[in-house]
A and B are shown apart, each in its own frame.
Chain A
Amino acid sequence: DTAVSQTPKYLVTQMGNDKSIKCEQNLGHDTMYWYKQDSKKFLKIMFSYNNKELIINETVPNRFSPKSPDKAHLNLHINSLELGDSAVYFCASTGRENEQFFGPGTRLTVL
C-alpha cells in the first residue's frame, strides 16, 4: 500500500565502499526526486527524473549516480563513500500541483 517506498531503511558501511538505495512509487507519477537531509535537518534536492529522463542535477559529486529503469523507480548508487555522505536520503515523487510525496528515508552512516 505504501505510496513511495525505499530500501534499505538503514545502511551502515565503511568509507570507500559502494552502495545503492532503491526507490519505488506506485502513484503513477512521472517525476521523482532524490533529496539529502543533513544532521541539521536541512533538506536539499540532488536529482530529479521525469519519465526516466534526468531533468535536475544539482551540484552533486559524480560519485552519486541516479538510475531510473522506468518511471516508477529511481535508484541511487554511491561510489567510494565518504564520511560526509552520512545523512538521510529521501526519495519523492510529484503530484499534479508539484506537491511531493516522500518515502520513509534511508539513514546512511559511513564509518
Chain B
Amino acid sequence: SQQGEEDPQALSIQEGENATMNCSYKTSINNLQWYRQNSGRGLVHLILIRSNEREKHSGRLRVTLDTSKKSSSLLITASRAADTASYFCATDAQGGSEKLVFGKGTKLTVNP
C-alpha cells in the first residue's frame, strides 16, 4: 500500500513554538501534498511539493521532501492557537492513477 504515515499521531505545543510533523510513504511519487482539517470541516490544501523538489516554503510553513528516504516533513513556525487542527499528507503515485492516498494525520494542539 502506498499509504502515508504521519508521526507523531498527536502533538501538543505552546503558542509561539514550532511544530514539526513527519510523513513516510512507500512507493515512488509524482508529488506530495499537505492538508489541514479543522474539527468538523473539510480538508484544506496547504502546500504541494514535487518529487524533484527538496524544500518549499509558504508563509510560516516549510515542507521538505527526501525521496531517498520516502519521507517528508511539515514545519509550522511561530505557531498560533488557530493552527490547532489535524494535518494530513497525501501522495500521488508515479505511473498510477491520479488518486491521492492520505495518511492518518497528526492532530496538532496549540495551547494559548
Contacts and interface: CB of A to CB of B under 8 A. Distances in A.
Interface of A: 4, 31, 33, 40-45, 48, 55-56, 90, 92, 94, 97-105
B43 A97 contact: no
Contact of A97 (B31, B41, B44, B97): B31
Interface string B16-49: 0000000000000011010101001111110010
Interface size class of B (residues with CB under 8 A): 20 to 34
15 contacts: A31-B98, A41-B86, A42-B104, A43-B88, A48-B97, A56-B98, A90-B43, A92-B42, A98-B92, A99-B33, A99-B45, A99-B48, A100-B35, A105-B40, A105-B42
Nearest to B45: A99
B98 A94 contact: yes
Interface of B: 30-31, 33, 35, 37, 40-45, 48, 86, 88, 90, 92, 97-102, 104-105, 107
Contacts of A31: 98
Main secondary structure of the interface of B (DSSP, over half): strand
Contacts of A56: 97-99
A48 B99 contact: yes
B92 A100 contact: no
Contacts of B105: 41
The 9 A-B pairs of least Cβ separation, nearest first, read A102-B42, A43-B102, A102-B43, A99-B45, A104-B42, A45-B99, A41-B105, A105-B42, A98-B92
